[in-house]
Amino acid sequence: MFKSRLLSAFVLISASTLAAWGRESEKPAELPSGVLMGMKIEAIRHQGDAAHVVTTGAEFILEKSGKIRCFQRIPERREVATIQIPPGNLPLKPQRQNDFACVFSAKGMDLSFQGDSLVIVKAREDVELAVQGLFKPAYQADQQGKWLFIDGLGGFGVYPTFAAKTKAPDLAQAAWQIGYGVPKGEEIWISVFPPRPYNWKRACEDLMAHEGNEPPYTYPSTALIQSSARYCKVMVVHSWFWPGGDREPWKIPTFVPKDRKEFDRVRDDLHRAGMKMVPYFSPYYYSGNDFFAEVRRALDEYKVDGLYFDGVTMDFRTSYEIVRKTRQMLGDDRILFRHCTSDPLASPRIYCPFIDTYCDYIYRGEAGRADLELDDFLRWTLSGHNISNAVGYWVYTGSTGKPGYVRQAPTREHIDAALRHEVRLPRTEIGYELNLAWKPNDGHLEFFDKYYYENLARICQARKKQTP
C-alpha cells in the first residue's frame, strides 16, 4: 500500500495513478521530513500521463517519456530546466511521500523531490543523465562538474557528489545541455530556486549589528548596545567571549563563556533595548564530540536568540544536513546567521542556494571578489534575493577592491552598490570588521548611520508601497 504522512493541503495520488506508475518497493529509503521555513510538498497529483510534484518554490512535471520539467514558482512561474531519464531506465514509479519529500524509482536510480525544491537522483547502477537549461543566465559558475545558473528571477544549480568532467554548455542555444555519467552509489542534486519567498521583514526591519573584539571590547557595552538599537534589531557577537578569543575560539569542545556574568549582561542589555543576541558558534572548527547537544544546551542555558555559524563543512551534503538540523532546532523565529565565503564548495563563486535558504542571513566577501566586477560580485554571489532568498550581508573589509583585508568604512559608492543589489551591510561601531578604521569622532560612523540607514529606509518604503 502507498504509505504517506501528508499535510491536509496535499492532493493524494490515487490508486489508479499508482497502477499507471508502478508499485511501491518493499523497502523504500527513509525520507527526510519536517516543514521548515514554510518549505514543503504542497501537492502531488496525476494529470493525464504525467505526475506533478508541487513544492513551495517549484513544480516538477514527470512525463512518461522520462522527461522531468522543472518550473520555479517564485517570484513567478517559469520553466527553467528539464532532466532527461534515459528510456532504458523507465518507467518511473512512485514509492512514498511525507510532508517534505516524495520518492520515485526507475531502473537503477531513485529520484527524491523535496519541499526545498531539490531533486536528488541516487544511482543504484551506473546511469546517464542529461540536464537541459531553458533560459539565458546572467551569471554562471562551475567547479568539478558542479554548475550554478542564475538570472534576475532565479535559476537552478546541478551538484554531483563526485568530481565530474562536464563540457560547458553553449548558452547561445535556446535550450542548452549538460550531460552526466553517474557512477553507481553516487548522487546528483538539482536545485531549483528560490525555494521560498524573500523575507522583507528580515531585510528591512531586523537589521544587524556585528560587534565583539579583543579586550577591552569583547563584551559590547551598554552604551554601544543602546547606540546600535537606534538602527538594528539583531546583534551578532563575535568569538572573543569564548576561551581563546579570536586566536583560537573555534577549537573548543564546550561553549562556555569566559565571563558568564558579562555574557548575561550583554544579552539582558540587548533584550532591554529590543534587540536579539546571536553569538558565535562554529561547526567547522568545533572540537568536541556532540556539536548539537552542546548547541542545544547553550541555547537553553544562555537564552540567546539564534546562532552565528562561522563555516559549516566543505562537503555540501554534510553542510545541508547540519544546517537543516540546526533550523529544526531553532524553529522559524530564532535566527541563523551563516558566514559562508567559500564553504561548502571551496569557492567564492559557486555556492548552494538549497543550503543558504535555511539561513536568515548569509555573510560573504571575506575572501575577496573572486575577480568579479563589483556589481556581479554583489548581485550573483552575495545577494540572496531571488536565489536562496536569505538576506545577504557583505563582509566589506575582505572585498573592498583593495588587496588583502582592509579595515575601512564603506564608501558612498559601495553603499549605493550594495543597496542597488539588495545587499546589506552590518553596523559595526567597536566590532570585528570595521572598528579599527573608525577613530573617535572622525565622522565615519556618523556618515554610515545617516547615509546607509536613510537610503535603506527609503528603498524599503518604496518596496512596501509596491508590494500588495
**Do residues 365 and 405 share a domain?**
yes
Residue-level pLDDT at 6: 28
Same domain, 204 and 188: no
**How much is the pLDDT for 12?**
32
Taking the CA atoms of 303, 304, 306 and 309 in sequence, report the sign of the dihedral they define. negative
- 374-408 per-position pLDDT tens digit: 999 999 999 999 999 999 999 998 999 998 888 77
CATH at residue 434: 3.20.20.80
> If you average pLDDT over every residue of the chain, what do you get?
89
Residues 228 and 247 in one domain: yes
Tell me: do 403 and 281 sit in the same domain: yes
Range of the domain at 74: 15-193
Assigned domain for 430 exists: yes
Band of pLDDT at residue 19, cut at 50, 70 and 90:
very low
For residue 63, what pLDDT band results from cuts at 50, 70 and 90?
very high
Could you tell me the pLDDT band of residue 249, with boundaries at 50, 70 and 90?
A: low
pLDDT at 253 over 70: yes
Q: Does the pLDDT at position 265 exceed 90?
A: yes
Q: Assign residue 143 the CATH number of its domain.
A: 2.70.98
> Please, which residues have CB within 8 angstroms of residue 123's CB and are 6 or more apart in sequence?
108, 109, 182, 183, 184, 185, 186, 187
Q: Which residue has the cell 543504484?
A: 124
pLDDT for res 216: 85
Angle made by CA atoms 113, 118, 124, in degrees to the nearest 5:
60
Asked if residue 236 is part of any domain, the answer here is yes
CB 14 within 8 A of CB 108: no
For 110-152, the pLDDT digits (tens) are: 999 999 999 999 999 999 999 999 999 999 999 999 999 999 9
Residue after which a domain boundary falls, among 166, 193, 220: 193
Q: How far from 295 is each of 237, 283, 329, 355, CA to CA, in Å?
A: 16, 10, 9, 19
Within-domain flag for 447: yes
How would you write 70-108 as a 3-class SS string? Answer: EEECCCCCEEEEEEECCHHHCCCEEEEECCCEEEEEECC
Q: Does a structural domain hold residue 168?
A: yes
When mean pLDDT is compared across 80-89, 218-227, 433-442, the lowest value belongs to: 433-442
pLDDT at 468: 58
At 245, the pLDDT band (50, 70, 90 cuts) reads low
3 in any annotated domain: no
145: left (phi over 0), alpha (psi -120 to 50) or beta: left
Per-residue pLDDT at 31: 84
Looking at the fold, whether 237 and 361 belong to one and the same domain comes out as yes
Residue 363: inside a domain: yes
Residues 209 and 183 in one domain: no
H/E segment holding residue 464: helix 444-466
User: Would 4 be classed as within a structural domain?
Assistant: no
Examine the fold and report which residue of 193, 215, 248 is the final residue of a domain before the chain moves on.
193
Domain boundary among 150, 176, 193: 193
Across residues 77-98, what is the average pLDDT? 96
Q: Are residues 189 and 204 in the same domain?
A: no
Tell me if 5 is assigned to some domain: no
Phi/psi of residue 369, nearest 5 degrees = -95, 5
- 60 shares a domain with 100: yes
pLDDT for 22 equals 37
pTM, two decimals, is: 0.92
Cell numbers for 47: 494529470
How many whole angstroms from its chain centre is CA 323? Answer: 9
- Cα gap 422→243, rounded to integer Å: 36
Kindly state whether residues 179 and 219 are assigned to the same domain.
no
In terms of domains, do 20 and 70 share one? yes
Cβ atoms < 10 Å from Cβ of 77: 10
- Number of compact structural domains in the chain: 2
Instruction: Tell whether 256 and 155 lie within a shared domain.
Output: no
Does 165 share its domain with 215? Answer: no
Interval 313-364: pLDDT, tens: 999 999 999 999 999 999 999 999 999 999 999 999 999 999 999 999 999 9
